[in-house]
Structure 1
Amino acid sequence: MKMLYYGGTIHTMEDKEQAEALLVENGVIAAVGKYERLQARAKDAAQIDLDGRVLLPAFIDAHSHFSGAAYAMLQAPLGETVNFAEIEAALTRFIADNHMPDGQWVVGKGYDQNALVEQRHPTREILDRVSSRHPIMLVHQSGHMGVFNTLALELLGVTPDTPTPEGGAIGRENGCLTGYMEENAFLQYQQKVPAPDLADLMDACRRAQQLYASYGIATVQEGMMPESLVGLYQALLTHQKLELDVVAYPGVDVLDEICDAFPEAVRRYDRHFKLGGCKMFLDGSPQGRTAWLRAPYADAPDGYRGYPTMTDDALRQALTTAYRSGMQPLAHCNGDAAAAQYLSAVAEMERSRSDFRELRPVMIHAQLLAPDQMEEVARLGIIPSFFIAHIHQWGDVHLRNLGPERASCISAAGSALSHGIPFTFHQDTPVLPPDMLHTIWCAVERVTKDGVTLGGDERIPVMDALRAVTVNAARQYFEEARKGSLRPGKTADLVLLDADPLAVPPERLRDIRVLETVKVGETIFRA
């Protein structure tokens, strides 16, 4: 099958080069250049007139949780709730609308205590008012904390005497459980919640792929793959249900088991699935006040700075495991203290293993990676992947939690750019929708929900923001030879937009619409 695209703006992302036409043959870019030359070369190609619209390489998701996006399709959405009463009503309506029998787990996703009138997390008593016959779990928008009702705690075996896992917290008040948990404690018990029916999950994965594709994304990430997802992915591969490329990062503790389960997918694609590396958590989230900071939170008279979730020894051991396995390390670091811990551990690895940088270690989120740490990031060859949409979504919260000086350095892409660091962007879906154009707008404008410009010096040009979600993201995945730009020999992963990001006023970037997404030459989404 041959297709010749022409009649619009084609940004190749190859040294800012534009082209008149692009020829695709059998899912691969065959030629890029002048329309007349390509037309003469492929007279039998299907002619696709862009009609003045804009063609780019498809966007690449540098970090998210694909299965989390699928699970969210089966959960009660709480992102728009503004108080406890609305949370109760949303959960009650979800149970009724889905005819959920007694005993079936109910999961609510996306509440944020910063957006609630009460300015605090719900409690188990509030969830008990929804139902005492359904175990209920709420998942915070960050994914780092949540709340269980009484029945859920009983089924999970959590009592007031249950020890708190290191690097986590279990809420207690006057010797009683509040239902709230965070970080390692929440993640530990969240993984014990029974999974939905496999058929429902498979259908949710189909819908999740359509969600990503609707935002122009053709490659996604499974950012923390537990062993419990092996069965789901085996079913997806067996039935060839993946249209998008999925790059998975198991936790270090289950890396060997998951590699054994998918031997054909280790560092290479098998039916659109690849094990790309291994994941580790070093701290929590700044909006949840669990990110590990070098200086205390702005309003913390007790000097509270958040806390680490891994010891130095555990981190060194994890990086050693990654090195011995030849797997890329992907480390969650939000606070600057967590970033410092990662930088120190990577530097130690490189001193004894000079080829460690060939693994292209990644720092995920890098929210408070500070300008004074950029030189070391560049020296070590670490790729920061900024969750830059935080600026709009939680920028006003960061101003309260961190003060204006530190908040202005959130997602310091401008500093990274000045140091020549090839950074990437992500949305941590399902934390936020995988809206790359909104993310590009955030990087270029840096405006909070309240209209505050947060760190104007850290703004970057549109082209560099586009590179973060195309060329640089392909490099992060070791796929720069086949993705990220439009040149002969690369995979025909394309996105068609209704306006040119390089031509519209910056404030209009988030209004650009994705019209079509093409994966290996086949349209997988059309508006």
Structure 2
Amino acid sequence: MSFKRRLKVHVLAGSVLLSAPAWSAQVADQIWMGGPVLTMNDRQPTAEAVAIKDGRILDVGTLQAMQAYKGTGTNTIDLQGKALLPGFVDAHGHAFMIGVQAMSANLLAAPDGQVKDIKSLQETLKQWLDEQSQTRQVGLILGFGYDDAQLAEQRHPTRHDLDAVSESLPIVIIHQSSHIGVLNSKALEMAGITAQTPNPEGGVIRREEGSQQPNGVLEEMAFFSGVASQMGKLTPEQAQALFVAGTDLLKRYGYTTGQEGRATSSIVPLMQAAAKAGKIDIDVATYVDILQDRDFILRNASREYTDGFRVAGAKLTIDGSPQGFTAYRDRPYYNPPAGYRADYRGYVAATPDQVFESVDWAFKNGIQILTHSNGEGASDLLLAAIKTAREKYGPQDRRAVLIHGQFLRRDQVATIAELDVFPSLFPMHTFYWGDWHRDRTVGPVNADNISPTGWVREHGLMFSSHHDAPVAFPNSMRVLSATVTRRSRSGDILGPDQRVDVPTALKAMTIWPAYQHFEEKEKGSIEPGKLADFVVLSQDPTAVDPEQLSTLEVIQTIKRGKLIYEQGAASEGERLSQLQTGEMISRFLNEWQHQAHEAGSTDHGHGPELLMGALLQGME
């Protein structure tokens, strides 16, 4: 690890404190007290009280010391024993796409849903259809979040399973990874996918055994382009409602800064418009697809927020989903589904030439680049491209981010340290798919090292941990629990040596992702001069049994000293968002069939940016 990185790690927590202005003569707007304050500042890890002025932290310390800032207009807020922490910083998620969960049948397994087998999946879709039909004419049955790893049958549903729900209405269900989907026979017909349709580059149309007839399961580009060909454009109002709904869900889990981890140049202005209209309460940093519109990235990338929104950089996606067997590995999968060749190791979504050229462009133009890389083979490509670009342009503070790194090798972690790459890892996989990785994707030995936070800390590196919603709910306490315990759904612990303690896991949700976003001077810790972005938890996470971390609750979320979420109370913005989302669902479902025919069944991926193609493409 370079001296530069070691120095950053050492001084990060105290850098703002040293430069904070002296405001001791000022009167605070608020004084928070009456509960533990976890600051994420190594120089002052805990405190008794915090004083706030004009949306920023005035001072932190003992209750007695903070009384010096109390005036006649100061609001004293008693935590009543609850814990105050910095607001969570979303290290990787899809704020715009979280709204998809609001317009779909919930096909998630427990604890987030009730689907456990194909029968219950069918029943959930029927129930959703019945509920929607009570208030509107339904043109599409849409479900989100099924996971073949959690279904009793241990397989994907097929078109025949969905035909049993409806043969007359098109049905589209989306895998929890968002890299795979299933269409019933009617939807396949409308998408123009037949036995004669070839596999697109970077995708697979799964076939029925012994024939070329599609079985309904579409992987990667086959799914994105196939569904995109039949769905109409979102109106600006629909798009904004989707975005607002996503940010509202994030703040319910304590996030004061969100991320849209893969946007397009046509979606960004819609998010900007929602922000300008004051419809979002949190900050959102977005990263635009580097293969889609580089000129747009150059024109719009900024380190400064405008109305709580900014284009932060570029996004590159190299491979797919590890649980869906589409991540690009350096070796064959351990126990893939029937029909795969013995040497199958996934495939790339971006060619090696595209990877090297994209990284080169980002480094040349000073653009921060986030790269989706799950398999070892994908990470080999990324690290080689970064090494080449660093040698060409020299070492600088670029903070290139590797997103996910599920199947990293130990030598790759050493290379990450050497190249000054920031790892944003996905330890929540140990809960949702840990058993699946152990038994199917990588086997019991390598499963212990998925999302290797322990190896990263051995090199003294910071890391961030993320939720990747809507792949899963943006449940901050589930993120925290999985990072600390690495306990799977079955109760197994994957990789005891990769576990970290609670303070480290909290830093991976606060100060370290703030650093990842070049925002450590403003966010991520409770220090004088920083924004008063807080989350109030039901208990002190450092004082409870680690096995109980997932049961902690977000009581309040505070942005710049303003309460933006309180448990049990819906804000006016949330009510408006719910109304807009409901209207969006109604309009979308009513218009879908007409728009599908208007788009034409042969326009595979070359038509307008449509819901599933443009908005879901590239989800992790």
TM range (shorter): over 0.9
SS of the aligned residue for 1:93 comes to helix
Using the TM superposition, give the Cα deviation of residue 157 of structure 1 relative to its aligned residue in structure 2, in angstroms: 3.4
| 1:247 counterpart = 2:285 | yes
With over 3 angstroms needed to count, the CA separation of the structure-2 counterparts of 1:237 and 1:51, relative to structure 1, is: closer
Trace 1:375-454 onto structure 2 (pairs within 5 A). 375-401=414-440, 402-454=442-494
Residue equivalent to 2:223: 186
More off after superposition, 199-208 vs 323-332: 199-208
Residue equivalent to 2:609: none
| 1:35 counterpart = 2:74 | no
| 1:143 counterpart = 2:178 | yes
Using the TM superposition, give the Cα deviation of residue 422 of structure 1 relative to its aligned residue in structure 2, in angstroms: 1.0
Unaligned runs of 5+ in 2: 1-27, 109-113, 568-620
Trace 1:119-158 onto structure 2 (pairs within 5 A). 119-158=154-193
Using the TM superposition, give the Cα deviation of residue 265 of structure 1 relative to its aligned residue in structure 2, in angstroms: 6.2
Give the superposed CA RMSD: 2.1
Unaligned runs of 5+ in 1: none
What CA deviation, in whole Å up to 9, does each residue of 1:440-471 have, x standing for no partner?
22121111111112111111111111110001
Contact 1:252 1:321 in 2 (8 A): no
CA distance in 2, matches of 1:304, 1:247: 36
Trace 1:451-490 onto structure 2 (pairs within 5 A). 451-490=491-530
CA distance in 2, matches of 1:91, 1:228: 32
* Number of positions where the alignment pairs a residue of Structure 1 with one of Structure 2: 524
Which residue, 245, 253, 256 being the options, matches 1:218? 256
Using the TM superposition, give the Cα deviation of residue 187 of structure 1 relative to its aligned residue in structure 2, in angstroms: 2.8
Residue equivalent to 2:398: 359
CA distance in 2, matches of 1:505, 1:102: 50
Residue equivalent to 2:334: 298
What CA deviation, in whole Å up to 9, does each residue of 1:212-236 have, x standing for no partner?
1121111111111134524632441
CA distance in 1, matches of 2:227, 2:404: 22
What CA deviation, in whole Å up to 9, does each residue of 1:342-385 have, x standing for no partner?
11111111110114x52211111111112221110001111111
Residue equivalent to 1:58: 87
Residue equivalent to 2:378: 338
Trace 1:31-180 onto structure 2 (pairs within 5 A). 31-43=59-71, 44-79=73-108, 80-99=114-133, 104-173=139-208, 174-180=211-217
SS of the aligned residue for 2:85 comes to strand
CA distance in 1, matches of 2:65, 2:272: 45
SS of the aligned residue for 1:283 comes to coil
More off after superposition, 182-191 vs 445-454: 182-191
CA distance in 2, matches of 1:64, 1:185: 23
Q: Which has the higher contact order (CA 8 A, sep 6+)?
A: 2
Using the TM superposition, give the Cα deviation of residue 337 of structure 1 relative to its aligned residue in structure 2, in angstroms: 1.6
Report percent identity of matched pairs. 37
| 1:12 counterpart = 2:39 | yes
SS of the aligned residue for 1:363 comes to strand
SS of the aligned residue for 2:335 comes to coil
1:289 partner letter: F
Contact 2:463 2:512 in 1 (8 A): yes
TM-score normalised by structure 2 residue count: 0.80
SS of the aligned residue for 1:114 comes to coil
What CA deviation, in whole Å up to 9, does each residue of 1:113-139 have, x standing for no partner?
111122211122332332344332111
Contact 1:330 1:362 in 2 (8 A): yes
SS of the aligned residue for 2:329 comes to coil
2:101 partner letter: A
Contact 2:514 2:520 in 1 (8 A): yes
What CA deviation, in whole Å up to 9, does each residue of 1:284-322 have, x standing for no partner?
222111222222222367122222222211101111232
| 1:496 counterpart = 2:536 | yes
Which residue, 300, 307, 318 being the options, matches 1:271? 307
Using the TM superposition, give the Cα deviation of residue 198 of structure 1 relative to its aligned residue in structure 2, in angstroms: 5.0
With over 3 angstroms needed to count, the CA separation of the structure-2 counterparts of 1:461 and 1:286, relative to structure 1, is: same
SS of the aligned residue for 1:158 comes to coil
With over 3 angstroms needed to count, the CA separation of the structure-2 counterparts of 1:102 and 1:515, relative to structure 1, is: closer
CA distance in 1, matches of 2:91, 2:290: 19
CA distance in 1, matches of 2:439, 2:117: 20
SS of the aligned residue for 2:307 comes to coil
SS of the aligned residue for 2:381 comes to helix
SS of the aligned residue for 1:302 comes to coil
More off after superposition, 304-313 vs 140-149: 304-313
Residue equivalent to 2:11: none
Using the TM superposition, give the Cα deviation of residue 203 of structure 1 relative to its aligned residue in structure 2, in angstroms: 4.1
Greater share of strand: 1
SS of the aligned residue for 2:291 comes to helix
CA distance in 1, matches of 2:297, 2:322: 33
TM-score normalised by structure 1 residue count: 0.94
Using the TM superposition, give the Cα deviation of residue 197 of structure 1 relative to its aligned residue in structure 2, in angstroms: 5.7
1:509 partner letter: L
CA distance in 1, matches of 2:535, 2:143: 33
Using the TM superposition, give the Cα deviation of residue 522 of structure 1 relative to its aligned residue in structure 2, in angstroms: 0.6
1:125 partner letter: H
Using the TM superposition, give the Cα deviation of residue 7 of structure 1 relative to its aligned residue in structure 2, in angstroms: 2.1
Contact 1:3 1:45 in 2 (8 A): yes
CA distance in 1, matches of 2:171, 2:297: 33
With over 3 angstroms needed to count, the CA separation of the structure-2 counterparts of 1:48 and 1:233, relative to structure 1, is: same
